[in-house]
Amino acid sequence: MALEGAYTAAFPSDPGSGTSLSVTGLVDQALDDLDETRSLGDGWDGYGAKAPSMHTISAAFDMLGLISKELSRDVTGSSPKVVAGPFLDGGICIAVEGTEKWLEVTIANGGTNSIERSDGVESVLASPSALVAELSWLVS
* Domain spans of the chain, in order of start: 4-139
More confident residue, 23 or 126: 126
Residue 77's pLDDT is what?
Answer: 63
How far is Cα 90 from Cα 59, in angstroms, rounded to an integer?
13
Most confident of 2-6, 21-25, 109-113, 114-118: 114-118
**CA 44 to chain CA mean position, Å:** 21
pLDDT in tens, 91-100: 999 999 988 8
pLDDT in tens, 54-100: 999 999 998 998 998 888 776 566 678 899 999 999 999 999 998 88
Task: Give the global pTM.
Answer: 0.79
Q: What angle do CA 91, 41, 64 make, to 5 degrees?
A: 40
